[in-house]
Amino acid sequence: MEKNLNRNIRGVKHYLNFKKDFESESERLFDSLPLFYRIMFLDQPNPWIEQINRFDFLRLAVVSSDFNNFQKTLIGKFLYKKIEVIDKKKILEIKLEDFFQSIILKTTEYSFTIQEFLLMLAYNGGLHMKPDKKDEDKSIYIYENLFEKFPDFTFDLLKSISKILLEIFDEFHSLLVGDNNGHSPNSNFQAMIAKDGKILDGIYFKRAFMQFPVRQKKNKGIRISLFIKLLSSNKSEKNHILWYGHRLDKELSIGIYQSKNKLIFHISDSKTIVLDIKELLDDYFLLEICLYPNGKISVAINENLKKVEDLNKNVSIIDGKIILGTNLNGTLFGEFYEQMIAIQSIDKLNQTRNLRVYGLKKMNIQSKHIPYNIIKRET
């Protein structure tokens, strides 16, 4: 068999081995899950999660709605929380970082987070034969009172944790092999296409988001077009519509939000553009922002140029995400209707090229020559 020491392939192989062990219900899961967790999240200075998640996608763990409550029955000395979802109508969605720091087991002497549970399992015969000195008493306690006495329960708990991680990392793996589709996997944050039994005239975002991968392209700018309806009834000071960027890369970002009768564009923490949209509210309109490689910024409404600004520096498309409906952190949301988004690159000769077109209807958007100062701007 041909050997391959490519570090990216080897890194992803940890995920594939872990997935194989889960699907076959192999006892190797006792080792492969803790190893996967340590490599992906804890190894410094570059945990693999930063490599796998190059597009900075939001990650939410889907757990049982009972997750915040300990079960009434004991496993030996241990109270435990229910993770696995039985009824899809009864779920919680929490940030993956918070999931790992959640207490999953407790006794009268100790409590254990999911991270501690995984690492103490690893350091009692998996990655190491003995626990770290600083947690030695606690680690020996869970080893003697849970791992040795209740291996089947321990394995079931591992499977529940594994299922959550695989649901998230299956998505990351699809991105690594070139998937450009919009992603909105978490049911509590999905936009609506129907309401009260009726099909809506657009995709309705309210405490919902959809995220798209954007791949790095040197010496190329980015053009984003949206066919959108904003509501006069929304009185929020920051009704978040769209953000592009990466939370760990401050080189380039674009934010668009509504503030009552104003539409505000925030570019790379250095430029703000404000348009009056009072006459456009409650009807669909075509919105465009184009950031050119030379730093010129063009904003258009209904294919007519409205504003030109300049960042006074050259820019290139960075690895990141375009996210509709919320900010880059997924903490602040917006309300609006959307029918189409077109994401294009634009080169130094002002020629566009489609990166991703997504809409309710099939669209034929062609490459075009669009200088920054042209008044009539076709999509």
Q: Is the pLDDT of residue 248 over 70?
A: yes
Three-state secondary-structure class, residue 378: coil
Task: Please check whether residues 254 and 165 belong to one and the same domain.
Answer: no
Task: Please check whether residues 78 and 141 belong to one and the same domain.
Answer: yes
Residue 132 confidence class, pLDDT cut points 50, 70, 90:
low
Q: Is residue 96 part of a domain?
A: yes
Q: What is the DSSP letter of 133?
A: G
Residue 59 confidence class, pLDDT cut points 50, 70, 90:
confident
83 CB burial (10 A radius; 0-12, 13-18, 19+): buried
Percent of the chain residues past pLDDT 70, beyond the cut: 87
Task: Please check whether residues 41 and 20 belong to one and the same domain.
Answer: yes
Q: Is residue 59 part of a domain?
A: yes
Task: Please check whether residues 121 and 224 belong to one and the same domain.
Answer: no
**Which stretches within the chain are classed as H helix?**
7-23, 29-37, 48-52, 96-100, 114-122, 136-142, 151-176
Task: Please check whether residues 238 and 259 belong to one and the same domain.
Answer: yes
Q: Which of 147, 176, 205 is the last residue of a domain?
A: 176
Candidates 153, 103, 106, 143; CA nearest to 121 is 143
Distance of CA 174 to the CA centre of its chain: 13
The pLDDT tens digits of the residues spanning 177-193 come to 555 555 555 666 888 88
Distance CA 140, CA 204 (A): 52
Which of 74-88, 91-105, 131-145, 286-300 bottoms out in mean pLDDT, i.e. has the lowest?
Answer: 131-145
Number of domains comprising the chain = 2
Task: Please check whether residues 206 and 293 belong to one and the same domain.
Answer: yes
Task: Please check whether residues 163 and 194 belong to one and the same domain.
Answer: no
Task: Please check whether residues 246 and 121 belong to one and the same domain.
Answer: no
Three-state secondary-structure class, residue 17: helix
CATH number where 317 lies: 2.60.120.200
Cβ atoms of 203 and 192 closer than 8 Å: yes
Residue type, 289: I
The per-residue pLDDT for 178 is 53
Q: Is residue 379 part of a domain?
A: no
Task: Please check whether residues 235 and 301 belong to one and the same domain.
Answer: yes
Task: Please check whether residues 241 and 115 belong to one and the same domain.
Answer: no
Distance CA 19, CA 24 (A): 9
* Structural domain harbouring 319: 187-359
The per-residue pLDDT for 5 is 58
The per-residue pLDDT for 57 is 86
Which of 10-19, 80-89, 203-212, 247-256 bottoms out in mean pLDDT, i.e. has the lowest?
Answer: 10-19
Identify the residue with better confidence: 353 or 96: 353
Identify the residue with better confidence: 103 or 48: 103
Q: Is residue 378 part of a domain?
A: no
69 CB burial (10 A radius; 0-12, 13-18, 19+): exposed
Residue 188: φ, ψ to 5°:
-75, -10
In degrees, to the nearest 5, what angle opens at C-alpha 356 toward C-alphas 174 and 288? 140
Q: Are strands 320-324 and 352-359 parallel, antiparallel or unpaired?
A: unpaired
Residue 68 confidence class, pLDDT cut points 50, 70, 90:
very high
The per-residue pLDDT for 357 is 77
What sign does the dihedral 16-19-23-25 (CA atoms) show?
positive
Q: Round the average pLDDT of the chain to a whole number and report it.
A: 88
Task: Please check whether residues 138 and 274 belong to one and the same domain.
Answer: no
Task: Please check whether residues 159 and 193 belong to one and the same domain.
Answer: no
Q: Is residue 149 part of a domain?
A: yes
Three-state secondary-structure class, residue 141: helix
The per-residue pLDDT for 234 is 92
Q: Which of 176, 204, 221 is the last residue of a domain?
A: 176
Identify the residue with better confidence: 341 or 269: 341
What sign does the dihedral 360-361-367-373 (CA atoms) show?
negative
Radius of gyration of the chain (CA): 24
Q: Is residue 259 part of a domain?
A: yes
Q: Is residue 73 part of a domain?
A: yes
Q: Which of 146, 176, 206 is the last residue of a domain?
A: 176
Residue 154: φ, ψ to 5°:
-60, -40
Cβ atoms of 303 and 286 closer than 8 Å: yes
The per-residue pLDDT for 104 is 97
Q: Is residue 373 part of a domain?
A: no
Distance CA 314, CA 294 (A): 4
Distance CA 339, CA 347 (A): 26
